[in-house]
């Protein structure tokens, strides 16, 4: 055990001292902050103001156009030919020509400008034209728009758990479940391949031969796996601290106008209402249980897959490209599990989501995608406990399996090793 602890210390200290560790540890929270700050700064800065001249030959639209942010409309009685030639000189971005139209079959609208119209301008023009035409048609047919608006219904339903009557939200479950599943997906690939590259480098450089003379191959593999896991946990802790600090100091860098503009322009009313529901329900999630499960499934999934990555790394030769095809059996279940996550966050009670959250190959990702929907309730206690037990058993099995391959592969040189041959080592006695 003392030898394993020494290997853990070596792996941990050597990786923490690398410049790449410092760069990645700092860049991740900064990237998250940039995702929030940059849109807010852009939203706070007004874009170029567009002034649009409108020539209305139908007489239906004057007084019915609404100005929108940075787009203003001015109705003119100037002849069409004159305004088409001189609109830029008079300070207009473009000119909208409305012919005499038939309200039943409106057509012939034209917009002239030197530059390509923006999407915002196109939406402003089409929405104003359609709203004005609808209003004129209502007046012609004797329909009172105010009464029609009063008839319009806009009801909401509060979704509650039948046992504790707490409010639920599919949007909150989707956001949190997808995010946690995606993070574990990235971490499994990142740290798993880090274990594989470390084993490959030590084997190709013959460092493993020196270390094997002092420790057993299994001890070397376990020390490397646990050491890199400790590096990952340290990064998570630092990320949590930095993100907390950034969230506290962010208001110092953003003006109230920028924050308000970002909240107003970043989404439509439906999305804003959905995000309010998400925030409301996120405050009611059992965070101690969720964080505890996240740490368990991250470590369990990492230990489960990293032992397999270590076994694959031990099969590498001087030509490291040969090992790339051997990683497919290990990476394929991770990728498939992430695809199931997309299904699980949409329907956490489906048979596919339930069984994928129990099977060790996919449970680290899929169970974390289901947990925000509720425990107990959507996720039964027996499902969670069975998933944990099977993941621990799966880690023990993959560690034993990989150790049998690792002990022989780490000392094999100058020969291309196939997966078929590697699995024969599992049952060999020497």
Cα–Cα distance for residue pair 275/38, rounded to 1 Å:
19
Q: Specify which of 26-40, 153-167, 355-369 reaches the highest per-range mean pLDDT.
A: 355-369
Residue 129: is its pLDDT beyond 80?
Answer: yes
Residue 428 has pLDDT above 90, yes or no: no
pLDDT at residue 389 in the model: 94
Choose the weakest-confidence range: 257-271, 387-401, 413-427.
257-271
Name the pairing type of β-strands 110-112 and 94-98: antiparallel
The string of DSSP codes covering 24-79 is HHHHHHHHHHHHHHHHHHHHHS----EEEEEEESSSSSTT----BTTEEEEEE-S-
The band of 372, judged by pLDDT with boundaries at 50, 70 and 90, is confident
For residue range 67-110, list pLDDT tens digits in order: 877 788 888 887 877 787 778 888 888 888 888 888 888 888 88
Instruction: Supply the pLDDT for residue 358.
Output: 92
φ, ψ for residue 157, nearest 5 deg = -120, 130
H helix or E strand, kind and range, residue 110: strand 110-112
- Bridge partners (DSSP) of residue 306 are none
| Rounded distance between C-alpha atoms, residue 94 and residue 74, angstroms | 11
The pLDDT assigned to 244 comes to 78
Query: Residue 105: helix, strand or coil by DSSP?
Result: strand
Q: Which residue has the tokens 């890199």?
A: 228
Mean pLDDT confidence for 53-75? 82
pLDDT at res. 355:
92
For residues 64 and 127, the answer to whether their CB atoms sit within 8 Å is: no
Judged against a pLDDT cut of 90, whether residue 388 lies above it is answered with: yes
Q: How confident is the model at residue 405 (pLDDT cuts 50, 70, 90)?
A: confident
303: tokens are 């230990």
CA atoms within 13 A on the CB side of 98: 26
pLDDT surpasses 90 at 268: no
Note whether 314 and 336 are within 8 A (CB): no
How many residues in the chain?
Answer: 430
Q: Kindly list the domain boundaries of the chain, sorted by start residue.
A: 50-136, 163-426
Across the range 34-56, mean pLDDT stands at 68
Choice between 414 and 333, residue whose per-residue pLDDT is larger = 333
pLDDT of 387 strictly over 90: yes
pLDDT at 132 over 90: no
- State the pLDDT at residue 133: 86
Mean pLDDT of 194-222: 74
User: Which pLDDT value is given to residue 318?
Assistant: 60
| pLDDT-based confidence at residue 47 (cuts at 50, 70, 90) | low
Per-residue pLDDT for 41 more than 80?
Answer: no
- Asked if pLDDT for residue 173 goes beyond 80, the answer is no
Model pLDDT for residues 212-239, shown as the tens digit of each residue: 677 777 777 788 888 888 887 888 788 7
Half-sphere exposure of 238 (CA within 13 A, CB side): 17
Q: Please give the pLDDT value at position 183.
A: 84
Whole-number average pLDDT of the chain? 76
Q: Is the pLDDT of residue 272 over 60?
A: no
* Residues in Cβ contact with 423 at an 8 Å cutoff, skipping those fewer than 6 apart: 405
pLDDT tens-digit series, residues 140-165: 787 776 776 776 666 655 555 555 44
Instruction: Measure Cα distances from 125 to 48, 108, 112, 223, 249 in Å.
Output: 17, 14, 12, 66, 41
* 275-315 tens-digit pLDDT: 555 555 555 667 788 888 888 998 889 888 888 888 887 77
CATH code, residues 50-136: 3.40.190.10
Per-residue pLDDT at 292: 87
* Mean per-residue pLDDT, 22-42: 71
- Mean pLDDT score, 355-361: 92
Average pLDDT over residues 108-131: 82
The reported pLDDT for the residue numbered 98 is 85
pLDDT above 90 as % of the chain: 5
Cα of 133 vs its chain's centroid, Å: 42
């Amino acid at each position: 055990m003392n030898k394993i602890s020494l290997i853990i210390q070596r792996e941990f200290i050597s990786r923490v001292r690398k410049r790449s560790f410092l760069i990645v540890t700092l860049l991740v929270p900064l990237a998250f902050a940039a995702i929030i700050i940059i849109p807010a700064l852009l939203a706070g800065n007004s874009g170029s103001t567009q002034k649009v001249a409108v020539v209305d030959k139908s007489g239906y639209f004057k007084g019915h156009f609404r100005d929108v942010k940075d787009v203003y409309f001015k109705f003119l009685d100037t002849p069409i030919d004159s305004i088409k030639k001189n609109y830029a000189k008079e300070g207009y971005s473009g000119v909208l020509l409305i012919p005499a139209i038939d309200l039943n079959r409106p057509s012939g609208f034209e917009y002239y400008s030197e530059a390509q119209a923006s999407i915002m301008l196109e939406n402003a023009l089409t929405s104003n034209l359609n709203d004005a035409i609808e209003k004129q048609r209502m007046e012609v047919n004797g329909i009172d728009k105010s009464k029609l608006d009063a008839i319009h219904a806009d009801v909401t339903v509060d979704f509650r758990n039948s046992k504790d009557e707490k409010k639920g939200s599919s949007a909150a479950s989707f956001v949190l479940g997808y995010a946690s599943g995606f993070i574990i997906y990235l971490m499994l690939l990142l740290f798993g391949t880090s274990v594989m590259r470390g084993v490959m480098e030590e084997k190709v450089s013959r460092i493993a031969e020196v270390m094997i003379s002092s420790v057993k191959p299994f001890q070397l593999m376990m020390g490397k796996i646990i050491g890199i896991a400790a590096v990952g946990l340290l990064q998570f802790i630092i990320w949590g601290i930095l993100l907390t600090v950034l969230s506290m100091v962010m208001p110092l860098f953003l003006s109230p106008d920028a924050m308000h503009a970002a909240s107003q322009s970043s989404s439509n009313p439906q999305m804003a209402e959905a995000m309010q529901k998400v925030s409301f329900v996120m405050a009611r999630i059992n965070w101690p249980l969720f964080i505890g499960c996240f740490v368990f499934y991250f470590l369990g999934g990492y230990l489960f897959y990293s032992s397999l990555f270590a076994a694959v790394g031990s099969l590498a030769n001087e030509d490291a490209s040969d090992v790339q095809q051997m990683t497919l059996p290990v990476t394929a279940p991770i990728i498939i599990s992430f695809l199931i996550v997309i299904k699980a966050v949409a329907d956490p009670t489906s048979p596919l989501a339930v069984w994928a959250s129990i099977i060790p190959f996919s449970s680290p990702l899929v169970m974390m995608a289901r947990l925000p929907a509720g425990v107990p309730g959507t996720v039964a206690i027996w499902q969670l406990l069975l998933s944990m037990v099977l993941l621990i058993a799966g880690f023990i099995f993959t560690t034993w399996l990989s150790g049998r391959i690792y002990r022989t592969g780490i000392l094999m040189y100058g020969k291309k090793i196939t997966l078929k041959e590697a699995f024969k080592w599992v049952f060999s006695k020497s």
